[in-house]
Amino acid sequence: MTANPSIGQLTEPISAWHEASVDAPELFFNRELSLLSFNQRVIALAQDPRIPLLERLRFLCISCTNLDEFFEVRVASIQQRMAHGANQPGSDGLTPGQTLQAIRKTVVEMVDEQYRILNEELTPALRDENIRILRRSTWTNQQRDWLHSHFQNEIMPVLSPLGLDPAHPFPRILNKSLNFAVALDGEDAFGRDSGMALVRAPRSLPRIIRIPSNHSDGPNDFVFLSSVMHAFIQELFPGMQVEGCYQFRVTRNSELFVDEEEVEDLARALEGELMGRGFAQAVRLEVAANCPQPIAQFLATQFGLDASAIYQCDGPVNLNRLSAVCDLADRADLCYPPFQPATPRALITSDNLFAAIDRQDWVLHHPYDSFTPVVDLMRQAVNDPAVLAIKQTLYRTGEDSALVSLLIEAARAGKDVTVIVELRARFDEEANIALATRMQEAGVQVVYGVVGHKTHAKMMLIVRRERGELRRYVHLGTGNYHQGTTKAYTDWSLLTAHPALAEDVHLMFQQLSGLGQAKALTHLLQSPFNLHTALLAKIDREIDHAQHHRPCGIDAKMNGLTEPEIIQALYRASRAGVPIRLVVRGICCLKPGIEGLSENIQVRSVLGRFLEHSRVYHFVNGGQSETMAASADWMERNLFQRVEACFPLLNADDAHRVWTESIDLAFQDNQSAWALSPDGTYAPVTPATGHAPIVDMQKALIDWPSDAPA
Per-residue pLDDT of 26-59, as tens digits, reads 889 999 999 999 999 999 999 999 999 999 999 9
Is residue 2 pLDDT above 60, yes or no?
no
C-alpha–C-alpha distance, residues 603 and 556, integer Å:
10
Q: CB of 531 within 8 A of CB of 538?
A: no
Average pLDDT over residues 562-568: 96
692-693-694-699 Cα dihedral, nearest 10 degrees:
-160
Nearest to 252, CA basis, from 271, 276, 226: 276
Instruction: Go through 643-680 and write b for each residue having 16 or more CB atoms within 10 A of its CB, e for each that does not.
Output: bbbbbbbbbeebbebbbbbbbbbbbbbbbbbbbbebbb
Q: Are 425 and 432 in contact (CB under 8 A)?
A: yes
pLDDT category, 262, cuts 50, 70, 90?
A: very low
| pLDDT given at position 311 | 96
Share of residues in the chain with pLDDT > 70 (%): 89
Q: Which helix (H) or strand (E) holds 502?
A: helix 499-513
Q: Does domain 345-521 have CATH number 3.60.15.10?
A: no
Q: How confident is the model at residue 706 (pLDDT cuts 50, 70, 90)?
A: very low
For residue 705, say if its preceding peptide bond is cis, omega within 30 degrees of 0. Answer: yes
> What pLDDT, on the 0 to 100 scale, is given for residue 428?
54
CATH 1.20.58.310 for the 14-108 domain, yes or no: yes
Tell me the sheet residues that pair with 312. 287
- Crossing angle (nearest 10°) for helices 96-116 and 53-69: 160
Task: Give the model's confidence band at 708: pLDDT under 50 very low, under 70 low, under 90 confident, else very high.
Answer: very low
Asked if pLDDT for residue 19 goes beyond 60, the answer is no
Could you give the CA distance from residue 277 to residue 273 in angstroms, rounded to a whole number? 6
Q: What is the mean pLDDT of residues 14-23?
A: 56
Residue 385 is given by DSSP the state T
What's the sign of the alpha-carbon dihedral 354, 358, 360, 365? positive
Statement: residue 11 has pLDDT above 50: no
Interval 195-209: pLDDT, tens:
889 999 998 899 999
The reported pLDDT for the residue numbered 189 is 64
Helix ranges (DSSP H) in 172-221: none
Cβ burial, residue 460 (10 Å; 0-12/13-18/19+): buried
- With CA atoms as reference, report the closest residue to 69 among 311, 323, 427, 395: 427
3-state secondary structure 484-501: CHHHCEEEEEEEECCHHH
CATH class of 132-334: alpha beta
Whether the CA torsion 606, 612, 613, 615 is positive or negative: it is negative
The pLDDT assigned to 657 comes to: 96
Encode pLDDT of 208-235 as tens digits. Answer: 999 998 888 888 999 999 999 999 999 9
- Across 278-345, the runs of DSSP E, i.e. the strands, are 282-288, 310-313
**pTM attached to this predicted model:** 0.90
Residue 191 has pLDDT above 90, yes or no: no
In angstroms and rounded to an integer, the radius of gyration of the C-alpha atoms of the chain is 27
182/194 Cα distance (integer angstroms) = 11
Decide if 345-521 and 526-703 have a common fold.
yes
The set of residues, in sequence order, having a beta carbon less than 8 Å from that of 417 and lying 6+ positions away, is 389, 390, 391, 407, 410, 411, 439, 443, 444, 445
For the ranges 267-281, 472-486, 623-637, the lowest mean pLDDT is seen at: 267-281
User: Which parts of 32-138 are beta strand (E)?
Assistant: 132-133
The secondary structure of residue 588, as a DSSP letter, is: B
Residue count (the chain): 710
Contact 557, 614 (CB under 8 A): yes
What's the whole-number mean pLDDT along residues 402-411? 91
* Predicted local confidence at residue 423, as pLDDT: 66
What is the C-alpha to C-alpha distance for residues 183 and 226, in angstroms, rounded to an integer? 16
Is a pLDDT exceeding 50 seen at residue 668?
yes
Using an 8 Å Cβ cutoff, are 587 and 28 in contact? no
Considering only residues 21 and 128, tell me which one the structure prediction assigns the higher pLDDT.
128
Question: For residues 353 and 380, is the Cβ–Cβ distance under 8 A?
Answer: yes
Query: What is the average per-residue pLDDT within 641-670?
Result: 96
Task: Quote the pLDDT of residue 50.
Answer: 95
Helices (H), 350-493: 353-359, 372-383, 402-412, 429-441
For the cut 90, the answer to whether the pLDDT of residue 90 exceeds it is: no
Alpha-carbon span 637 to 73, nearest angstrom:
14
User: DSSP of 672-686, one letter per residue?
Assistant: SEEEE-TTS-EEE--
Q: In this predicted structure, what is the pLDDT of residue 81?
A: 84
Q: Which of 557, 642, 579, 620 is nearest to 365 (CA)?
A: 557
> How far is Cα 191 from Cα 608, in angstroms, rounded to an integer?
59
Question: CA-CA distance, 439 to 296, in Å (whole number)?
Answer: 47
With cut-offs at 50, 70 and 90, classify the pLDDT of residue 12. Answer: very low
Mean per-residue pLDDT for 420-444?
A: 72
Q: 397 pLDDT band (50/70/90 cuts)?
A: confident
Runs of H (alpha helix) within 282-362: 293-302, 323-328, 345-349, 353-359
7, 354, 358, 423, 468 from 471: Cα distances, Å: 52, 10, 10, 30, 10
Q: Which of 189-198, 328-337, 520-529 has the lowest mean pLDDT?
A: 189-198
* pLDDT at 435 > cutoff 70: yes
3-state secondary structure of 148: helix
* pLDDT at residue 18 tops 90: no
pLDDT at residue 260, rounded to an integer? 45
More confident residue, 511 or 449: 511
> Sign of the C-alpha dihedral, residues 381, 383, 387, 392?
positive
**Residues forming a β-bridge with 455:** 643
Q: What is the pLDDT of residue 682?
A: 96
User: Among all residues, which ones are annotated catalytic?
Assistant: 456
DSSP assignment string, 60-119 = HHHHHHHHHHIIIIIIHHHHHHHHTT-----TTS--HHHHHHHHHHHHHHHHHHHHHIII
Given a cut of 90, whether residue 398 has pLDDT beyond it is no
Q: Which residue intervals of 117-241 are DSSP H helices?
A: 123-128, 141-150, 225-232
Instruction: Give me the pLDDT at residue 367, please.
Output: 95
Question: Has residue 664 got a pLDDT over 70?
Answer: yes
**Percent above pLDDT 90 for the chain:** 68
pLDDT at 484: 83
What Cα–Cα distance (Å) separates residue 566 from each residue in 305, 535, 537? 37, 8, 10
Question: For 450-509, how does the pLDDT look when each residue is reduced to its tens digit (9 = 90+)?
Answer: 767 888 899 999 999 999 899 999 999 999 888 888 899 999 999 999 999 999 999 999
Which position has the higher pLDDT, 246 or 707? 246
Q: Is the pLDDT of residue 83 over 90?
A: no
Query: Taking phi first (over 0 means left), then psi (-120 to 50 degrees means alpha), and beta for anything else, what does residue 226 get?
Result: alpha
Asked which of 179-193, 264-278, 279-293, 403-417 is least confident by mean pLDDT, the reply is 264-278
Predicted confidence band of residue 192 (pLDDT cuts 50, 70, 90): low
Separation of CA 204 from chain center? 26
- How does the average pLDDT of the chain come out, rounded? 88
Confidence of residue 431 (pLDDT cuts 50, 70, 90): low
Q: Enumerate the domain spans of the chain.
A: 14-108, 132-334, 345-521, 526-703
Summarize the confidence of residues 372-383 as an average pLDDT.
95
CA distance 700 to 695: 7
Handedness of CA 228, 234, 235, 237 (dihedral sign): positive
Average pLDDT over residues 525-554: 97
Q: Give just the sign of the alpha carbon dihedral 622, 669, 28, 594.
A: positive
Please determine, for residue 303, whether its predicted confidence score (pLDDT) is greater than 70.
yes
Domain 526-703: state its class: alpha beta
Residues 492, 360: contact at Cβ < 8 Å?
no
Q: Within 10 Å of residue 472's Cβ, how many Cβ atoms?
A: 19
CA separation for the pair 352, 342 (Å, rounded): 19
Q: How far is it, in rounded angstroms, from Cα 196 to Cα 203?
A: 22
